């Protein structure tokens, strides 16, 4: 059973949301009137999903979501009446998985949360893949730079410089990127 953190400035509206969540098979982790201490609340409650019902998402709400999203990303669904292009773009940049205009209908909660979870999972997978590719590119640049240092300092050709680093990496039980970083650091000291 997924737990949902509900944020709504209206207590009566929050009650309706909680009833809809219960009918859909979700557990309510807590109800907050605003997102002021969002990161602390998410850290304490560890909800699976965050649902925000608001007339218009405030700048503070979006900033709090963006801050939370850096260290503790969660699927976030916003129900609102604000349909401006800029508001939607700002919400998506803050990490919102689903931005639903024209209010909340209890019958739609389950499919909307399922779509938000799926979109969140896809986004997280893309982020991990991007981080991995970025790291590989960064490591490749380090290796190329270190090869250049070895070619210049020891008069090696490119293949010999690479094989020297690879051999050292194997002897030390380290990655070739770590050895390349060490070569570059030593070159700064010695040259």
CATH for the stretch 3-104:
3.40.50.2300
Q: How confident is the model at residue 97 (pLDDT cuts 50, 70, 90)?
A: very high
**What is the predicted pLDDT for the residue at 10?**
86
Strand partners, 77: 51, 98
- pTM, entire model: 0.76
pLDDT for residue 105 is more than 80: no
Q: Assign a CATH topology to domain 130-190.
A: Arc Repressor Mutant, subunit A (1.10.10)
**What is the predicted pLDDT for the residue at 84?**
87
Three-state SS at 76:
strand
**What is the predicted pLDDT for the residue at 118?**
95
pLDDT for residue 139 is more than 90: yes
Average pLDDT value for residue range 117-121: 94
Q: How many CB atoms lie within 10 A of CB 21?
A: 22
- The share of the chain scoring above pLDDT 90, in percent, equals 73
pLDDT for residue 15 is more than 90: no
pLDDT for residue 103 is more than 80: no
**What is the predicted pLDDT for the residue at 185?**
93
Mean pLDDT of the chain: 92
Q: How confident is the model at residue 26 (pLDDT cuts 50, 70, 90)?
A: very high
Pairing of strands 98-101, 76-80: parallel
Number of H helices and E strands in the chain, helices first, is: 7, 5
Quick: pLDDT tens for 64-83: 999 999 989 999 999 998 88
Contacts for 27 with CB less than 8 Å, ≥ 6 apart: 1, 2, 3, 4, 21
- Report residue 78: phi and psi, to 5°: -115, 125
Question: Considering Cα of 170, then 172, then 177, then 180, what sign does the dihedral take?
Answer: negative
Q: What are the boundaries of each domain within the chain?
A: 3-104, 130-190
């Amino acid at each position: 059973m997924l737990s949902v953190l509900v944020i709504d400035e209206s207590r009566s509206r929050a009650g309706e949301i909680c009833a809809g969540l219960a009918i859909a098979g979700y557990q309510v982790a807590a109800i907050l009137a605003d997102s002021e201490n969002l990161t602390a609340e998410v850290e304490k409650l560890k909800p699976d999903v965050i649902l925000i019902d608001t007339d218009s998402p405030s700048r503070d709400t979006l900033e709090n979501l963006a801050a939370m999203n850096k260290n503790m990303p969660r699927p976030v669904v916003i129900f609102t009446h604000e349909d401006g292009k800029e508001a939607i773009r700002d919400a998506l940049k803050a990490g919102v998985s689903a931005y639903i205009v024209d209010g909340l209908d209890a019958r739609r909660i389950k499919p909307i949360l399922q779509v938000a979870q799926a979109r969140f999972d896809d986004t997280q997978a893309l982020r991990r893949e991007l981080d991995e590719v970025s790291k590989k590119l960064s490591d490749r640049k380090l290796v190329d730079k270190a090869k250049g240092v070895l070619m210049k300092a020891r008069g090696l050709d490119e293949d010999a410089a690479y094989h020297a680093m690879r051999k050292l990496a194997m002897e030390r039980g380290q990655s070739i990127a770590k050895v390349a970083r060490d070569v570059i650091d030593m070159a700064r000291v010695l040259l």
